[in-house]
Amino acid sequence: MATFAEEVRASMVRLLFGAGIVWGICCQPAVARVYLFENITDLPLGPGGGRGAEVNDNGDIAFLNDGAVWFYDRSEGSFLDVTALPGAPENPFFLKLNNSGNIAMMETPSTTRDYWFFEQETQTFTNVSTLPNFPGNSLTNFGGTAFDLNDNDKMSLHSGDNNVGDIYVYDYPTGNFEQITDKLGAPFRGRENEINNLDQVLYMGFPSTYLFDPATGTTTNINTLPGGPGSAITNLDLNDLGDVALMSGSVAQFYDATTSEFLDVTAAPDWVPDIFVSSRSDLSNSGEITFWREG
């Protein structure tokens, strides 16, 4: 297995965050950056508070505040109270935002847990979970990680059993649903999931992470590829290149889809060996990994 030190120049960024630490691992050569901090919610006509923010490549931001979904248009400097529009969900709780400004939502776990899709251009809502061809149900114990949205207006989503069910892709332009956990090589179950702009779907199939590639129609067990960690329940992250990050208390690996090699993140300079819990991770197209750790 190639080590981080052999393959990349790594740097670490640490930010205090609640009871833990947000860590960033940069897998690319260091570059000069300009840092600008903005209090978005206190801008004119903003709601004055917020949580659960999502940002797209245009700098637009979708976030929650007091049970409402807000959208900040960076180019116009304007705010839209999305849930004040006709047909909006009553109890939005989790959000995903794409580069068109479209928003996927899930209602609170204490209510219906329905999936919703908001189209920015027409400012209309679709309750995905009540469509006639919706498979199963949207009950899940892990609402924040049970769905994702890409720039093709496709949602990957968990449906069925409230713990381990099936993974589907909802295609908003066509209205079709495609089951992912019944593909060749699939584990026939899944929960946490992500979809990228290649329409690849990464999901936890217990006890490994699987990647479905629509270009080949096949599913790959990422964990058991040469150099991989083997069966392990981890956080999972997917970028638009097909790269994968597997992060947990005992596993920290980066899979490069171009080279088909794993990088051992624990070999990076300044890696903290006493990590206890890793969660809420993310992976950029340039290879940076962020994650929250406790320990």
Question: Is pTM, for the whole model, over 0.75?
Answer: yes
Domains of the chain: 40-224 (2.120.10.30)
CA distances, 41 to each of 48, 62, 73, 177, 237 (Å): 5, 11, 12, 36, 28
pLDDT at res. 123: 98
d(CA 2, CA 246): 16
* pLDDT of 134 above 60: yes
8 A C-beta contact, residue 48 and residue 41: yes
* pLDDT of 39 above 80: yes
Confidence class for position 293, pLDDT limits 50, 70, 90: low
Mean pLDDT of the chain: 86
Helix (H) or strand (E) holding 212: strand 209-213
83: left (phi over 0), alpha (psi -120 to 50) or beta: alpha
DSSP SS3 for 234:
coil
Strands 261-264 and 2-3: parallel
Percent of the chain whose predicted confidence (pLDDT) is above 70: 82
pLDDT at res. 143: 72
Percent of the chain whose predicted confidence (pLDDT) is above 90: 64
* pLDDT of 29 above 70: no
pLDDT at res. 145: 80
Cα angle at 154 between 148 and 160, to 5 degrees? 60
* pLDDT of 43 above 80: yes
pLDDT digits (tens, 9 = 90+) for 247-278: 887 788 999 999 999 999 888 887 775 555 55
pLDDT digits (tens, 9 = 90+) for 75-112: 999 999 999 999 999 999 999 999 999 999 999 866 77
Lowest-pLDDT range of 22-31, 52-61, 133-142, 143-152: 22-31
pLDDT digits (tens, 9 = 90+) for 164-219: 789 999 999 999 999 999 999 999 899 999 999 999 999 999 999 999 999 999 99
